[in-house]
Chain A
């Protein structure tokens, strides 16, 4: 017995953050928390048709588990016209602390996913010596290709970590690596870049926290990432 679901009348785009300990939530964990928050906040999200209706939420490129983020994006379809600031406040209140709503806008006509071309990351490595890190980054950037391996559920995968890196520098405060990474397939993650740095330079594997600072259209020349809500 199928229920007929109300049709969507509006699309909202949401930028959210995963802060602090919440970086250990996987994408699926976030999905569940978000869907519950939609219900608690009373957001009139549209549901799909069929025997097991689910809320119409599309997620764009989730950060890997363990990475924090200031710039994650998703889009939802709603069955009534909504006021973005009100949705933002209600959702933020309904989400656990650390999963925070940064911005809500009404979707314009372009595709959100298409605008997410690159990410800016910071990687803090409090136990790594600055000089060694700076030398490693220099060596990395000098190579045309840096092959790394990553364990996936289908086995070991080899990819080129260098090609996706548009810009990379080390800040002695931290020390912290700042980098801009192009979204491509296979995806190059901060961990892959670190693996590459270690491979090239013998840098030791020390504690690190990666945070995605921004995600959006890529300005190749400037090496910067724009705002997908205002491209």
Chain B
């Protein structure tokens, strides 16, 4: 039976809310399928990015799954995002449920609600969406009638804080597992849902690749540490493994990027030029959990860029990855694309470049049409010692030489990213950033002969993440972080000569503590999240909505009577033997290898990139049967005829 569009009831409310266009849908390249197709058993996914439309729409993860699923006959996928509080209020008043923007169908009517968590700060938005959809917040209260609520994205590598609210979670690349899950659901529906909801969840869990939290019991020791996480029924594995798509050339998505009417945070066509990272920066969860490196070939990248621009009309192409200049063919890619789009207004950007992989040829190719976007590098640590601890092997010489090259080639602005609160960090390590920035300006002025050289230092609070060597580390408390940032600010400002040329961007340390709670939390944190939400916590990633005090009060209330508290989850250092809340989730990394790397960090020992040096046995490849897939293929990009040739608009 077809499901009705909620739009006629939604439309009269739209003139009263902020940016109503975000709820209207109708984006170019959006896919709307018939709810029912005669003779075809359908499986229907609602895909959510749990933040506002302007942030969620460009998200590549959701766009990729949206296309992969919709390409299949018998599968329908639509998108939903967090609605702003003004519309939430009106929706509750008028009894309108969480809806998809594609066809404004109620999320409650779908078979699955897949939520992609790039960050933990979307957890309260998830609760709003569930509540508005009429889906019971607690997974145990749901029946066959409710969608299966399944989490993905990087934060899903530790979904324990939201375990109560999830039916399932998948770790790693979503393309193949989403299709596999679809088939399991289809069969279960076709057989008239044997076993009900649990029957379906058991089938999903049996594969070993889908984590169903309620099939595991967690017991605790008197001091609060986890005693054990164990399956509570047969047919459920002790550890659930992540998914890795090998041969990304076979999955060239997105092919048809969504082009919104509303303004969004990224207005460009993005191509992932590779997944994974082998640099081994110890703080970086993304690098650790996406191993091994799998490159797309230059020809696939070329095709994807061409198709994507044709289908979207975007003027900017982003070549994305964790460290784009590390692609084995990046030089040819940049030159090939720059040649191809020479004379057009298409610009290329490489959002993530390591200092040591940057080179001036690359930078020049990227700015050939004259648009010189700023250069960004991420030394992360202010002293060489600090950089050894985090395994970001960039010497001061490298950094200065690189920025000097940039400035002498016409760049005027350089942005440097750092973190504050890293393990073993002292005040000196952070204040040294001021010296570094000073040297950058000094060198810049020298090599360019100009005084209008600028450098922006952007510094964020470090949050230890699961599945990294720093997962045992004590997070720095926010007072320490704030005090260090104040010292850095003073050091920069006090310099008459260079102070004005250095910009400093930072946030205060409190939000990082909450991120830390959510990032390394266990199931007991679920009650905290619910309490915050009940107190109207929403959009925690937005400074205008985030309330540290609300979170602190919620931890006090929800964790009262337990041996644990906010500090226990954040500023406490863990020991080797402690059961971590995510130990039963397998990212492929060998736990002992992570521990050794943590010890090496404390001893300031560096480890090389295993793409180009021998393997260090992190465990991913043998464990998961994967391997590093890199070029070079030796191909070049074929020249194409310029896009606007031969179009019929000429008179």
* A interface, CB within 8 angstroms of B: 1-3, 21-22, 24-26, 28-30, 32-33, 35-44, 47, 51-53, 65-66, 80-83, 86-87, 90, 94, 96-98, 207
Q: Does B262 contact A (CB under 8 A)?
A: yes
Q: Could you tell me if A25 and B263 are in contact, using CB atoms closer than 8 angstroms? A: no
Q: Could you tell me if A36 and B312 are in contact, using CB atoms closer than 8 angstroms? A: yes
Q: Contacts A24-B20, A33-B261, A86-B651: A96 and B26 contacting too (C-beta < 8 A)? A: yes
**A65 to B11 CA separation, bound complex (whole angstroms):** 14
Q: Could you tell me if A3 and B369 are in contact, using CB atoms closer than 8 angstroms? A: yes
Q: Could you tell me if B310 and A22 are in contact, using CB atoms closer than 8 angstroms? A: no
> Which residue from B7, B21, B259, B648 sits with its C-beta under 8 Å from A36?
B259
Of B263, B314, B644, B649, most buried by chain A (CB within 10 Å of CB) is: B649
Q: Contacts A24-B24, A207-B12: A83 and B651 contacting too (C-beta < 8 A)? A: yes
Q: Could you tell me if B649 and A29 are in contact, using CB atoms closer than 8 angstroms? A: no
Q: Which residues of A contact B369 (CB under 8 A)?
A: 3
Shortest Cβ distance from B314 into A: residue: A36
Q: Which residues of B contact A39 (CB under 8 A)?
A: 313, 315
**A96 to B311 CA separation, bound complex (whole angstroms):** 12
0/1 string, B279-310, CB within 8 A of A gives 1? 00000000000000000000000000000001
Q: Could you tell me if A21 and B11 are in contact, using CB atoms closer than 8 angstroms? A: yes
User: How many residues in B have their beta carbons less than 8 Å from beta carbons of A?
Assistant: 37
> Which residue from B14, B25, B263 sits with its C-beta under 8 Å from A28?
B263
**A29 to B261 CA separation, bound complex (whole angstroms):** 5
Q: Could you tell me if B651 and A98 are in contact, using CB atoms closer than 8 angstroms? A: no
**A86 to B646 CA separation, bound complex (whole angstroms):** 13
> Which residue from A2, A24, A30, A90 sits with its C-beta under 8 Å from B370?
A2
B 431-490 contacts with A by CB, 8 A: none
Q: Which residues of A contact B314 (CB under 8 A)?
A: 36
Q: Could you tell me if A29 and B26 are in contact, using CB atoms closer than 8 angstroms? A: no
* B interface, CB within 8 angstroms of A: 7, 11-12, 14-15, 20-21, 24-28, 259, 261-263, 267, 310-315, 345, 367, 369-372, 410, 643-644, 647-651
Q: Could you tell me if B263 and A29 are in contact, using CB atoms closer than 8 angstroms? A: yes
Q: Which residues of B contact A80 (CB under 8 A)?
A: 650-651
Beyond the given A21-B24, A83-B649, A83-B650, please list 9 additional residue pairs across the A-B interface where CB-CB is below 8 A. Answer: A25-B261, A29-B262, A37-B313, A44-B649, A65-B20, A80-B651, A83-B651, A86-B651, A97-B26
**A47 to B345 CA separation, bound complex (whole angstroms):** 9
Q: Could you tell me if B650 and A96 are in contact, using CB atoms closer than 8 angstroms? A: no
**A133 to B386 CA separation, bound complex (whole angstroms):** 74
Q: Could you tell me if A82 and B345 are in contact, using CB atoms closer than 8 angstroms? A: no
Q: Could you tell me if A1 and B410 are in contact, using CB atoms closer than 8 angstroms? A: yes
Shortest Cβ distance from B364 into A: residue: A1
**A159 to B417 CA separation, bound complex (whole angstroms):** 50
Q: Could you tell me if B21 and A29 are in contact, using CB atoms closer than 8 angstroms? A: yes
Q: Could you tell me if B345 and A53 are in contact, using CB atoms closer than 8 angstroms? A: yes
**A30 to B262 CA separation, bound complex (whole angstroms):** 9
